Amino acid sequence: MRFRKLGSSDLEVSEISLGSWLTYSGGIQAEQTRACTEAAFDAGINFFDTANVYGRGAAESAWGEILSQHPRDSYILATKVWGQMSDTDQGLSGEQIGKQIDASLQRLRTDHVDLYQAHRFDVTVPIEETVEALQKVVRQGKARYLGFSEWTPEQIRTAVDIAGPELFVSSQPQYSMLWQAPEAEVFPVCAASGISHIVWSPLAQGVLTGKYKPGQPLPADSRFANDAMSGSKDLVLNDAALEAVQRLVPVAEGAGLSLPSLALAWVLRRGEVASAITGASRPEQVHANAAAAGVHLTDDVLAAVDAALGDVPVSRPTLAPFAAEGVLRR
């Protein structure tokens, strides 16, 4: 495993990390969750990413039970706040942030997280209130560092203008061969403030593994065939994408790599990316993903990737699901 520094923090995170979005929030059983998590430790992965809203606490609770059996300094733990936890609990008000961090820590069975992230921007709350509440979480020792997920350039710049470039150490955008939108604006804006990226869906929810074939039924044991894990498949599952992935197969073979390793190494070719968050439902998937750490892609391979993808990838600035433009000021 290789490690990279996370923004201006002193955290060294594994290039490949383990996430819990669609899997450990209820998509797979507890025994598989434990097996995959332990496989991550075996593979040298030290960065674990979750959110309060994943299964409305289910993912945090699952990892609280498992991770608490490991020394707290042996892993870097990240969670998020913003998602709807009840009919009245959602967003980034000072009250909500204070309430949700305590609930997350209780479920995670720890007294602090290493990274606390605003899962989306809350356009209904003055940004000053959100920033102050997040800073308070750090002052209280409940989080070591702060990050955000899927904020617009305007929202990022405004927060930095208010609190300085060291307010956030990380951004969490969707980023993959098929979803290149952050390169246009978000990457440059974050680079100006030394903010690293921990990217979600680097395998496009499994599309970049090659398991889904154009014109063929979904594999019965796949994520998209599982109602609990297929809710966001429309982001990446379409005929053009599936055909592009098949064109990538000989590129990977020519480079001596599996298709997932090629896709993960492509994401990690960018120095701004600190870690690629992967999901896994089986331990062998964890180890296969971890093998991409440290893989270098030559210019010839990168050119072949571009040729295979053509104009299929989403490359223009694109608002993320559940994200909203605008900033409310006091």
Catalytic residues: 54
* Spatial separation of the C-alpha atoms in residues 75 and 70, rounded to whole Å: 8
Q: Which of 154, 156, 172 has its CA nearest to residue 164?
A: 156
What value, to the nearest 5°, has the Cα angle with vertex 273 and ends 270 and 274? 135
Taking only Cα atoms into account, the Rg of the chain, rounded to an integer number of angstroms, comes to 19
- Are the C-beta atoms of residues 293 and 120 closer than 8 Å to each other? no
Q: Which of 16, 10, 92 has its CA nearest to residue 276?
A: 16
- DSSP 8-state assignment for residue 179: B
- Are the C-beta atoms of residues 130 and 168 closer than 8 Å to each other? no
